[in-house]
Amino acid sequence: MRVAGVAVASAILLTAFVLLFTGSEATAGGEPTARDSAAGARESARRAVRPRPPKPAYWGAWIGDQFTGQAPPTDMRGVAAFQQVAGKPLSLIEWSLPFADCTVNPCNFFPFPAQDMTNVRTYGAIPVISWGSSSLIPQANKTIQPDFQLSDIISGRYDNFIRSWATAARNWGQPFFLRFNWEMDGNWFAWGVKGNGNSPGEFVPAWRHVRQIFRDVGATNATWIWCPYVDVSGRRWGNIARLYPGNDWVDWTCLDGYNWGRGPTNPHTPRSFNRLFADSYRRITRLAPRKPMILAELATSDFSINKGLWISNMFTALRKGYRKVRGLIYFNVNDRGTHWPIETSVGGRASFRRGISHRRWRPNRYGGITARPILPPR
């Protein structure tokens, strides 16, 4: 046994001398040496832990009337003012429009906003219009609108109006994002499946009914965004798939979410960006793994919240994960004293300017975009 041990030790020493003098070169037969293999393993491990760079993304804002007295895109001076605050031109500009104004009798139905669309495109950004099947009404409770239920859409009650709107969109001719009946999972809009006499089973037929009209008239320049509100508890959505119209009917997925804080309006426990979005993001990307995503409404207040730190952490989270997110829109509107706008906080403004300055977030280079549907930036 002792002799055998000496023989083994001699073999080990011989192998060590061979490795010492051959270095990292391959053997005579072209096979890698042990040193090559070790070096290769170290390089593979280094590459495995190296984070992938974030993909390019659009960015923009939903801007209120606080700058000029009239909100963009009707008054584009508000965009210029917000650009000064953010330190960078926007590639997305969002606003909303209901079907009708029913504070008058009979109701006045809003036409396709061609001039507003042109204002945005002339600036170099992509229009994002949130179009809701509801009306402006004089009542305090805006969610109870028996003339604007999902069943009315399905029955064809508003087909003539929808067709005229879609035809005008086609005639305008340029690509835009259409976010139809967003946050449908709640009860705070007339089209929400938990209020106004609606039911969850009606949302998908209503969505498909409207989109089919757009297809019938050839309005292929609308890129359709499907957008629930985040489910922080993990219980409110239930089976979110029942509200998803299907891959053939949706171009981009989306999430909305707000960090309300303990302010005077809708007070909540402060939540981080990840606490708001992470679980809902995972669920939506499992539901529609091949669709790009846009965060079409997000903001934080400064009630019991360090706004600058929250926004900084948001950009860090988006850089490290959320790879399906290819668009970001900040809700920069004075809404019931919630302090959403970034200019309400010195720290919030500084953090937003710093985060959005990254080259990932594309500026206003899209005045000539032609893709249908609109694709993520490259």
Q: 265 lies in a domain?
A: yes
What is the tens place of the pLDDT at every residue in 96-140? 999 999 999 999 999 999 999 999 999 999 999 999 999 999 988
Considering the domain architecture, whether residues 122 and 270 belong to the same structural domain is answered as yes
Give me the pLDDT at residue 19, please: 36
Do the beta carbons of residue 58 and residue 96 sit within 8 Å? Answer: no
Split into its structural domains, the chain has a count of 2
Dist. CA 229–CA 21, nearest whole Å = 65
Asked whether residue 285 is assigned to any structural domain, the reply reads: yes
Q: Tell me the three state secondary structure of residue 172.
A: helix
Residue ranges making up the domain that contains 41? 2-49
Q: Are 62 and 36 contained in the same domain? A: no
Residue that the structure tokens 């001398």 belong to = 17
The residue with greater pLDDT, 49 or 142, is: 142
List the Cα angle 163/167/172 in 5-degree steps: 150
For residue 288, the domain's CATH number is 3.20.20.80
Q: What is the pTM of this model?
A: 0.87
Least confident of 41-55, 72-86, 283-297, 307-321: 41-55
10 vs 64: which has the higher pLDDT: 64
Q: What is the pLDDT of residue 44?
A: 56
pLDDT at position 164 over 80: yes
Cβ–Cβ under 8 Å, residues 134 and 103: no
pLDDT, residue 283, reads 97
The secondary structure of residue 247, as a DSSP letter, is T
Tokens of 375: 């694709």
Report the alpha-carbon angle 262-183-150, nearest 5: 135
User: What is the CA angle 233-97-261, rounded to 5?
Assistant: 30
Asked whether residue 123 falls in the same domain as residue 39, the answer is no
The DSSP H or E segment spanning 72 is none
